[in-house]
Amino acid sequence: MPLETATGAVRTGLIAFAFLSYLILIGIPGRIGGPALPVLALIAALFFWLKLRRESNEPSREATGQRQDSFDDKPGWEIGPRAASKGSRLRDLLHTHSGTAPILYGLLAGLTTGLLIAIVSGIFAAAMGNGIAIQPVLDKIVPLNVAALIGVSPGQIAQSDVSFIRFIFQVLLFAGAGVLAGLTAAGGGYGLKQAAFLDRLTTHLSGATLTSAGRFAGMALPFVLLAYIAWLGLPGVTAFGTNEGTVRLLLTLIATGSGLFTLRLSRPGREQMAVAVLLGLGVFSMPFILDQFQNSVMGLVFIFVMMGLGLNIVVGYAGLLDLGYVAFFAIGAYTYAFLSAPFSSPYISGLLILLGISPESPLLGYWMALPVAMLTAAVGGILLGIPVLRLRGDYLAIVTLGFGEIIRLFMLNLGELTNGPRGILEISQPALFGHTPVDVTFGLLSSQGWIFLLALVSSALVAFVATRLNESRLGRAWFAMQEDEDVAEATGVHLVRTKLLAFAIGATFAGMAGQLYAARQINIFPENFSLFVSIDALALIIVGGIGSPAGIVLGALALKGLPEVLRGVDEYRIVTFAALLVIMMIVRPDGILPSARRRIQSPDPEEAGAAGEPELREEDPGLRENGEALAKGAGVREEDP
């Protein structure tokens, strides 16, 4: 095996180990218990397999310079209709590889991961066996996890009667996982020349049948999950005996996320329409089948989806890095709070009394307040936009960051107007035809379910508007501005108008999200609107895939939903996300579900120009003719820089 392949395998092993450490850190093995190690090994195998597939795909990706429009083109995701035809191309490409290479690769990667796991769990086991106290926070989960990894009960570790064989077993297990991955990859395309039997088998079975079976299985997943979630909601049914609420939440997150993949797996046309309708029905039934806790989490997730979609207009479409996005969220929330909560500042109540309105009762209901909150946020967006029109890149980021903080400090310190750190309490709830939703639906829809439903509908609306705008001339102007601001202007894009529109529309969506957030929280405080909200919103679009609404939903599920599943290990949230982000960026640098535009790796335009020109010019046959023209006394063309 060539040296680069070997180092590549070791590196793959290291990345797998990093990812598994993350899973261990957030306490997954402890929760799984006995079968933890095989599960981790399987995850590692999956990772190796993806890696092997990706590597075998790389040349074909470079060869086809065209934009990858279909999700199926992304290596590792070829369950779709295109997989069959792709196989043969792969086969041609890989004939140079020897059949054993992927197996050795997998073995080496697996050995690396397994050794590291064994060493780390060994160290921890030894430490615990010798009674060395680990940091108090770690103590809560480490023993359980280490025990699960080694396959003993926590008590046994303390007695230090863990036999050495168990660690050997760990290494072997991961090595085996690696070999398995290698074998699978070989069967799937690598070693087909050698594995003539497999070749014949797949030909006979016709790839199409297999892949379409896999495709339909994948497409069925969200519906199966939804049915299971609904079943779990029935009285007297329990999941795995423990932690029922969390399990249901996790399944809900997976069902929602896999729904997006299902949509991509379906063939465009009638099939896609049918799937979309079914998915829509499924998703909109969720608020009715989940309980208060799950609904409140999903509500938050979709409030952040709205935020992400809005921020995506500014950052993803127009390319303006805005770190103060929370400001508009806060403006929306506080506007609604002012209009609907009993608290009223002395100024406002004075004004109200003058106008003959009682300051005690809420001024406007949710629906009447909605346009006001949106408008206020939009004005905020324009007010922020004007001073930063001429700023680019880092400078823009810093100034907007400041703006976000200013609004929060404003809410904090203008006590007379905003009630300062005591916040605004008892914000009224959105009504459904003038009644509470629980009454109207005969208890089917809980109050949090109602918020979730509203968040879903608003997100769908926002996604619709954002997508339509992006596909119009405005979207093209935004993208042109992102590509080259000066040229965009010289091509006829009115920069001021186009930028302010991005800021204003983005802010409007954040204002909507903020209003719903205020209704969900009932009481809001300035610290709800810290810098971290901006960072969360930005992180979720980066993780999900900048510019892609589906990616944003996935990002929100991962970043706002998962932590709630992991409530028990709250201390690790920040570490968790750092790790998750880093891994994400290594594995899928363009996000989980990137937009088509983001997927083409364009070289820097200036570089391209510089690289292209001199080459062409050196052997420019026109030079000689120039010389002749010059001889007639015209002039010399000097070498261009």
Partner 1 sequence: MTALLSIQQVTKVFGGLTAVDSVDLDIAERSITSLIGPNGAGKTTLFNCMTGLHRPEGGEILFSGRSLIGLRPDEIIDRGVARTYQNIRLFGRMTALENVLVGQHLRLQASHWSAVLRTSRQQAEERAAREFGRELLDFVGLSGREEVVSTNLPYGDQRLLEVARALGSRPSLLLLDEPAAGMNPSETDSMMDLVHRLRDEKGITVFLIEHDMKVVMSISESVAVLDYGEKIAEGTPEEVRSNARVIEAYLGPEVAVQEAAVKAVH
**Min CB(634)–partner 1 separation in Å:** 5
Q: Does 507 bind partner 1 (CB under 8 A)?
A: no
> Among all chains, which residue has been given the structure tokens 């089917």?
444
Choices 96-104, 270-278, 427-435, 472-480; region in contact with partner 1 by CB under 8 A: 472-480
Segment near partner 1 (CB under 8 A); pick from 96-104, 219-227, 489-497, 522-530? 489-497
Distance of CA 245 to the CA centre of its chain: 23
Rounded to whole angstroms, how far apart are CA atoms 592 and 551? 6
The residue (of 271 and 483) whose beta carbon lies closer to partner 1 is 483
Find the shortest distance in angstroms from Cβ 54 to partner 1.
22
- What is the rounded CA–CA span in Å between residue 606 and residue 634? 32
Q: Please, what is the minimum distance in Å from the beta carbon of residue 543 to partner 1?
A: 21
| 331-316-596-190 Cα dihedral, nearest 10 degrees | -100
Name the minimum Å distance from CB 352 to partner 1. 34
Q: Which is nearer to partner 1, 244 or 489 (CB)?
A: 489
Rounded CA gap, 286 and 298, in Å?
9
CA distance 325 to 397: 10
Q: Where are the strands (E) in 263-370, listed by range?
A: none
Euclidean distance between CA atoms 601 and 365, whole angstroms: 48
**What is the nearest approach in angstroms of partner 1 to the Cβ of residue 508?**
12
Residue 173 identity (one-letter amino acid): L
Closer residue to partner 1 in complex, CB, 360/628: 628
Instruction: Return left, alpha or beta for 152; rule: phi > 0 is left, psi -120 to 50 is alpha, else beta.
Output: beta
Whether residue 481 contacts residue 499, with contact meaning beta carbons closer than 8 Å, is answered with yes
Of 206-214, 272-280, 355-363, 478-486: span binding partner 1 (CB under 8 A): 478-486
Binders of partner 1 in range 590-629 (CB under 8 A):
597, 600, 602-603, 605-606, 608-609, 612-613, 616-617, 620-622, 624-629
For partner 1, what does the binding mask look like between residues 373 and 412, x meaning CB under 8 A? ----------------------------------------
Q: How far apart are the C-alpha atoms of 104 and 112, rounded to whole Å?
A: 12
| Residue list 427-466, contact with partner 1 (CB under 8 A) | 464-465
- 293/479 with CB nearer partner 1: 479
Paired with 432 in beta bridges are 435
Min dist CB 67 to partner 1, Å, is 5
Whole-angstrom CA distances from 458 to 317, 370, 584 are 20, 11, 28
**Please, which residue, 3 or 490, has the CB nearer to partner 1?**
490
Dihedral angle, C-alpha 238, 242, 244, 248, nearest 10 °: -100
Cα–Cα distance for residue pair 531/554, rounded to 1 Å: 22
* Interface segment toward partner 1; rule CB under 8 A; list 274-282, 386-394, 585-593, 630-638: 630-638
DSSP state of 242: S
Least spacing, CB of residue 602 vs partner 1, in Å:
5
Residue 477 binds to partner 1 (criterion: CB under 8 A): yes
Residues from 72 through 101 that contact partner 1 (CB under 8 A): none
Residue from 286, 287, 274 nearest 219 by CA: 274
User: Which residues contact partner 1 by CB under 8 A?
Assistant: 65-67, 464-465, 468-469, 471-474, 476-477, 479-480, 483-484, 486-495, 501, 597, 600, 602-603, 605-606, 608-609, 612-613, 616-617, 620-622, 624-638, 640-641
